[in-house]
Amino acid sequence: MPNPLDLTRVVAMAAAQTVIESGHLERRLSELVALRTESQNPAQAAVLKQYLSEMMRPMLLEMGFDVGLHENPVAQAPPLLLASRVENSDLPTILIYGHGDVTHGQDNQWDAGLSPFAAKAIDGLIYGRGTADNKGQHLINLMALKTLIELRGSLGFNVKVLIEMAEETGSPGLAEFCAAQRDALAADVLIASDGPRLMPEVPTMFMGSRGAVNFDLEVRLRNRAHHSGNWGGLLADPATILVQALASLTDARGQIKIAEWRPSSLTPDIRAALARLPTETGGDEVIDPNWGEVGLTSNERVFGWNSFAVLAMKSGVPDAPVNAISGHASATCQLRFVVGTDADGIVPSLRRHLDRKGFHQVHIIATDKVAFQATRVNPDNPWVNFVASSLEHSTQSAPHILPNLAGSLPNHCFSEILNLPTIWIPHSYRGCAQHAPNEHMPIALLHQAFSAMVGLYWDLGETKGPNTTVATAPSNKTAN
């Protein structure tokens, strides 16, 4: 091993390139993908624990971490892993978060030759459930740490790692665990990875996320269906009542009509930050120009505003309709919301709205539903500038900086409970098909993100944080 005193950033980036050329990243990712860690499937409970005990724990022990597996504070919820590597109490400490659970595999819906739990590389993409969300992302960060530890024997900073296995079911127990383990999780900053980049080739940073509240609307008028000829015109149709109620929540282009659901936080400074971002989707999807809030740009609609969606609906037997008026109808709905929305008032304001419109028969079921709080950290935080400078040094592309992710994450556990500045560096892109068939990670993105994280950790170890400036990128690229 080279003398640590003789090492430079160029040497570190060369070590990253050696790892990339070895194919070890792809092989390790394949091992992680092979575990069917579906947190929405109770039958996979043992596999969720196996991911922590057989995949994460040995890797972290090899890197010199103290590793503990902890029971979840919420009964029947999967365990959590907490690991720490403290080199010197006077050094800065970063907290890294990831989740090893995935959504349902949807095995039968993947393209021919592909399987959700058997990673496969085709035409520059690695397919498999978890490649993008989130196994591939936290693997990149851990492997970057491992590369530097093996290169110079130390990091130059302290690290704590928190891996959960229930993010896809709303992170039950995570907030309680963070509150109970405040001292063990104490750090200077959270630097973690989840969500997509705006563009596949350019790093993205965000400091918070939209919140999410899911709820069911249900109209249940009778216990059985009735013949539509004999009873049509005499019996109220639950589906008709339900769709009328749903239609009252937005107008025809999806603009929210409940006053309490319209946020107050799209301020001039946020609009100015969003105006600097690209509007392309980075994939084959085309934005619908006549959908959403009038007068807002596409970035303002997705990063600075609230959105309502009907996720699923049911009445009767959709796969085999019969000539009958169903006795009940239901819809699963979701509100994604930004800071500036009263989260506790979302469901009560919905009830008041439905009652004002005369939809007393529509019941709201909001218990045991996924719910994340909206968060947003000041983008002027010194850690933001430090990370952005390092990413630009490594990639020679200024990162896109968002006030918050359009999706939802348990960021409040870190920003509110642990009181940390939170910086997320996503290692995916919007076309990755997360939560859908054919989820994938571009190999070029995997490699670039890995090199960028090696560079970030190197800079942190050298400068000890944002009190000093990362050197300007040289004219010749040191990381590709």
Task: State the catalytic residues.
Answer: 101, 167
Report the DSSP beta bridge partners of residue 217: 331, 364
Q: What does the block give as tokens for 89?
A: 């109490």
Assess contact for 229 and 322: CB atoms under 8 A.
no
Assess contact for 191 and 138: CB atoms under 8 A.
no
The C-alpha atoms of residue 135 and residue 158 are separated, in whole angstroms, by 22
Provide the terminal-to-terminal Cα distance of the chain, rounded to the nearest Å: 24
Report the DSSP beta bridge partners of residue 93: 158
For residue 134, cis peptide bond before it (omega within 30 degrees of 0): yes
Strand order in the sheet with 440-442: 120-122, 125-127, 440-442
Residue 68, classified by CB atoms within 10 Å of its CB into exposed (0-12), middle (13-18) or buried (19+), is middle
The C-alpha atoms of residue 284 and residue 438 are separated, in whole angstroms, by 14
Q: What does the block give as tokens for 291?
A: 């959908």
Assess contact for 425 and 203: CB atoms under 8 A.
yes
Residues 6+ apart with CB under 8 A from 329: 218, 219, 238, 239, 241, 242, 313, 314, 315
Residue 289, classified by CB atoms within 10 Å of its CB into exposed (0-12), middle (13-18) or buried (19+), is exposed
Task: Choose among 32, 190, 182: nearest CA to 96.
Answer: 190
The C-alpha atoms of residue 171 and residue 382 are separated, in whole angstroms, by 29
